[in-house]
Amino acid sequence: MHTPPSTAQLRSLVLAALGVSMGCRSSTDDKPSDDLDLYWPDIADDSGEVGDPPNEFPDHWETCDPNAIEVTLEELRRDSSRSFLLCESVETWDYDCPPGEDFPARDVFYEQLALPEADDFGWSVEVLCGPDTNRPDACCYEVAIMEWTEGRPFRVGGTARMAAGGPAAGWCIHVDLEGAPHAPASIVRAWEARGLAEHASVAAFSRFAMQLVQLGAPADLLASTARAMADEVSHARSCFGVAARISGEPARGPGRLDVTGALEGALSPRQILEDLLVEGCMGETIAAAEASEEARLCRDPALREILVHIARDEARHAALSWRAARWILSQHPELTDMARAVLTQPLAAAAARAADLPGPVVNAWGLLTASQRNTLASHVARTVLKPATDALLGRFPAEHAQSFA
């Protein structure tokens, strides 16, 4: 039976893709420098699960960004990286605005913009500052807003696109699970949504291949991208196979995916790198860690093997993304500041999967709860994304990196 990659193995794979030689740790080196934060063990509690991240809310609030504007969907689509204010009337809070950690930012955001709830895409909203002392007329909070989707998203004009599910030939493989179980409806929906996300990733990698051609990329990056596209087809078929098996219903799959405008504004080096950092470097790295944890917690051996296979592929895709980002920055060093800004932005909050069921039930079916996903993402950010970002931006000492070919 295969084993999923650990967080430490994922970190080593990503850093190797960035040309960092790990070497051996000296027995006298009790604590490496902050820039070489490579050797700390993965933090786990007695159950083997990743522990809760520390509370990072400040103890006090200062004046928020004076350039922040009140959020609208139009402004969000135009530039989601800028500073936004999310405001409610002071009357709503009886003229006593709550501290930032108590403000229901996501609920207010969804209500004000009349956004629908969905299992496979949405928006995360994180309070950065507030209540804003410059706005005594309202309870205003500076927020970071990010769109999320399952897997590597296929975004066009800032919006994630996926096909609708339905009857589809050839997208479902036979999956043998113990006892031919029938799962709760929300578990079936979660696995189908996962299949649709993997299908959308095929389009994302297809566009990335064209972007690499546009940049004149080396052959090995294109070959690896083509392989990753085939991996995503395999992942999608496996997910639809699981959904069919646990539902007892006829096989389903993806319908037509609209790719209109997929290359509009997506061929400049800046946009290519920004998309790669968000979708590939951050998204694929966290996806690999999630699949590994899902494999560890699920009960069915066949389902576990599927998740191990996905985790190993996603880890390879993450390494490809960091390797491609390294090459793009070697050709366009003027984009380094932009890369730093993107890689240090807050992580998007994770989607809830089968939120109507207890965590152990969700885990048994090869899925993680939103709380588990958020905790794991924070852990990966500290133990993988931070050292990888340092390596990409050249903060490792020269003796720890190989020169570009």
Question: Over the chain (405 residues), what is each successive 10-residue block's mean pLDDT?
Answer: 80 89 40 28 34 36 70 71 82 89 85 69 72 86 69 76 86 80 86 92 95 96 95 95 89 91 90 92 92 93 93 94 96 94 76 73 89 86 92 60 34
Predicted confidence at residue 66, as pLDDT, reads: 77
Predicted confidence at residue 329, as pLDDT, reads: 95
CA–CA separation, 122 and 133 (whole Å): 30
Q: Which of 88, 94, 220, 212 is nearest to 141 (CA)?
A: 88
Q: Which of 12, 10, 29 is nearest to 21 (CA)?
A: 12
Domain ranges of the chain: 7-20+35-57+149-400, 69-148
Q: Which residues contact 4 (CB under 8 A, 6 or more apart)?
A: 291, 292, 293, 295, 296, 307, 308, 311, 312
CA–CA separation, 183 and 141 (whole Å): 41
Predicted confidence at residue 77, as pLDDT, reads: 63
Rg, Å, the chain Cα set: 22
CA–CA separation, 139 and 65 (whole Å): 15
Predicted confidence at residue 347, as pLDDT, reads: 67
Terminal CA-to-CA distance of the chain, rounded, Å? 37
Predicted confidence at residue 294, as pLDDT, reads: 94
Q: Are 278 and 342 in contact (CB under 8 A)?
A: yes
**What tokens were used for 99?**
């501290």
**What tokens were used for 197?**
């996300």
Please state the separation of Cα 295 from the chain's center in Å: 18
CA–CA separation, 210 and 95 (whole Å): 54
Predicted confidence at residue 167, as pLDDT, reads: 85
